[in-house]
């Protein structure tokens, strides 16, 4: 079946954006092939198995969750555009989450999928700021589904409504961790999208994590007639006369397509363009990202509830007076991070994950981890695993070291080096380049970006990006 070398549409990357774009164009009769270098789909939200256990790479939570009947939202739009029923995603809501600042998380703002809870927490902790906060939330509600262009500083906008720097940091912390590609500040449009996704809408997770979502998309794509080649990366995009004339695969095979959608990232796509001068025609290529993370996972034979850790789904923590979001000088910045307990979603009665999971993610510099020789890399992972987990435990009810050790049946950890190895993202930058291409344009007329570097991220965001870019650059261009 995969003997063709000419398509209407070629899609680079079988992650959420590529699969969603593929479904759209295949449904409307385009001959399409997705090319994926890895042997598994999902990209930045992929999965793997280790010693018989299943793990998700990226998925802490599906953001943008709304309950059935709520209309005009990102999730609703996505379900319609992909012709999916919401039950097929089988999303289970978070129990509750927290933004916790201070050495033991003394300053905490709880939030759930009901925005009123977060609002009342802000009123409790920052009574002088509640009116400003409500006005800011209204402004954010008004920004809609597409990020605004040209409003570069979220902090500048937030400061029109909020005077307390602690509240400013407590609001930006989750938005940056979920995720900003920029250091210290972020584009207001991006911040608004993430504020909507996390606070105004909510967090949820399928019981089996990302796999059922990927299976659903793969089956929808296949049924619509889309082709997919795995372990089949693209090595070059041949440019001629301002257009992408052909793709050269890792195998050397040449593929032609009228339109190419690349979901592997802005700088990563530019690096494929040959000759290189064509990648910089008109404007320099987008810079590689600098924001990267380590993630540590502890697996327990018991449920986290047995430690008294059964209530919090996600905790965004910061132990210091100000929240510093930048590429760290140390191998890991353990002052802050995100804790995720996948057990703590409201799964159907009788359903609980077979083991307890405690995932902790903190900022880390790519260069340090990428340059370690092999033996040192393993040692440093072990050293920093302990430091990251210990840092996170400060924000949860205390559990004796011996009890935790006795309950721990497995651990795993990934670094920026791991992310680059499996996704090709330069510097392991999971949130991509700090410069987004909101209309997906590249220097080549028939090559467009979708996914993180178009400007939408997260599971829902990436799918919407693929849908929008497919609509704009393939389907609305008329026949052929």
Partner 1 sequence: MTKDECKKVVLDIIADIAPDEDLSNVKPEVRLREQLQLDSMDFLDIVMELRKRYGIEVPEADYPQLASLDSCGEYLTPKFNALPAKP
Question: Rule CB under 8 A: which residues touch partner 1?
Answer: 27-29, 71-72, 76-77, 80-81, 83, 85, 471, 475-476, 479
Enter the DSSP assignment of 273.
E
Please say which residue, 30 or 436, places its beta carbon nearer to partner 1.
30
Please say which residue, 102 or 144, places its beta carbon nearer to partner 1.
144
3-state secondary structure of 206: strand
- Number of other CB atoms surrounding residue 143 within 10 Å: 17
Q: Are 131 and 138 in contact (CB under 8 A)?
A: no
Helices 16-27 & 74-81 angle (0-180, nearest 10): 50
- Number of other CB atoms surrounding residue 451 within 10 Å: 32
Please say which residue, 85 or 374, places its beta carbon nearer to partner 1.
85
Enter the DSSP assignment of 365.
-
Residue 77: CB minimum distance to partner 1, A: 6
Q: Are 63 and 73 in contact (CB under 8 A)?
A: no
Q: Are 214 and 463 in contact (CB under 8 A)?
A: no
Residue closest to 97 by CA, chosen among 318, 342, 313: 313
How far out from the chain centre does Cα 18 lie? 14
Please say which residue, 52 or 72, places its beta carbon nearer to partner 1.
72
CA distance 57 to 22: 22
3-state secondary structure of 374: helix
Residue 75: CB minimum distance to partner 1, A: 11
Residue 206: CB minimum distance to partner 1, A: 20
Residue 454: CB minimum distance to partner 1, A: 16
CA distance 384 to 389: 8
236 - beta bridge partners? 248
CA distance 237 to 329: 36
Please say which residue, 50 or 70, places its beta carbon nearer to partner 1.
70
Please say which residue, 31 or 159, places its beta carbon nearer to partner 1.
31
Please say which residue, 225 or 308, places its beta carbon nearer to partner 1.
225
Q: Which residues of 98-113 are buried (b: 16+ CB within 10 A; e: fewer)?
A: bbbbbeebeebbbbbb
Please say which residue, 4 or 83, places its beta carbon nearer to partner 1.
83
Residue 80: CB minimum distance to partner 1, A: 6
């Amino acid at each position: 079946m995969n003997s063709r070398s000419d398509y209407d549409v070629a899609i680079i990357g079988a992650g959420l954006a590529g699969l969603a774009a593929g479904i759209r164009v295949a449904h409307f009769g385009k001959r399409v092939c997705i090319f994926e270098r890895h042997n598994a789909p999902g990209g930045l939200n992929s999965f793997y198995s280790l010693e018989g256990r299943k793990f998700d790479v990226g998925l802490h939570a599906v953001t943008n969750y709304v309950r059935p009947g709520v209309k005009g939202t990102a999730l609703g739009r996505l379900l319609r555009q992909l012709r999916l029923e919401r039950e097929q995603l089988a999303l289970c809501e978070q129990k509750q989450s927290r933004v916790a600042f201070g050495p033991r998380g003394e300053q905490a703002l709880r939030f759930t999928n009901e925005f009123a809870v977060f609002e009342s927490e802000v009123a409790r902790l920052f009574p002088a700021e509640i009116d400003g906060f409500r006005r800011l939330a209204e402004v954010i509600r008004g920004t809609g589904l597409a990020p605004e262009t040209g409003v570069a500083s979220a902090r500048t906008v937030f400061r029109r409504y909020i005077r307390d720097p602690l509240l400013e940091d407590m609001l930006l912390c989750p938005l940056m961790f979920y995720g900003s590609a920029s250091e210290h500040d972020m584009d207001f449009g991006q911040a608004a999208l993430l504020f909507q996704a996390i606070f105004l809408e909510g967090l949820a997770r399928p019981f089996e994590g990302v796999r059922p979502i990927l299976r659903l998309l793969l089956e929808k794509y296949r049924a619509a007639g889309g082709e997919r080649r795995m372990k089949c990366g693209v090595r070059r995009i041949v440019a001629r006369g301002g257009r992408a004339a052909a793709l050269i695969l890792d195998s050397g095979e040449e593929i032609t397509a009228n339109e190419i959608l690349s979901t592997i990232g802005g700088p990563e796509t530019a690096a494929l363009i040959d000759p290189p001068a064509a990648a910089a025609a008109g404007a320099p290529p987008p810079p590689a990202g600098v924001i990267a993370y380590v993630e540590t996972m502890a697996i327990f034979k018991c449920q986290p509830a047995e430690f008294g850790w059964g209530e919090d789904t996600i905790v965004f923590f910061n132990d210091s007076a100000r929240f510093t979001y930048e590429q760290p000088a140390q191998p890991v910045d353990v002052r802050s991070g995100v804790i995720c307990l996948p057990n703590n979603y409201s799964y159907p009665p009788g359903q609980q994950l077979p083991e307890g999971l405690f995932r902790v993610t903190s900022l880390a510099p790519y260069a340090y981890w990428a340059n370690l020789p092999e033996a040192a890399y393993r040692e440093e992972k072990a050293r920093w695993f302990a430091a990251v987990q210990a840092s996170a435990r400060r924000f949860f009810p205390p559990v004796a070291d011996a009890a935790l050790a006795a309950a721990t049946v497995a651990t795993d950890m990934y670094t920026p080096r791991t992310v680059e190895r499996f996704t090709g993202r330069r510097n392991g930058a999971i949130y991509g380049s700090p410069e987004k291409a909101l209309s997906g344009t590249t220097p080549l007329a028939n090559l467009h970006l979708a996914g993180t570097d178009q400007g939408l991220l997260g599971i829902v965001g990436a799918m919407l990006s693929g849908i929008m870019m497919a609509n704009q650059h393939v389907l609305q261009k008329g026949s052929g």
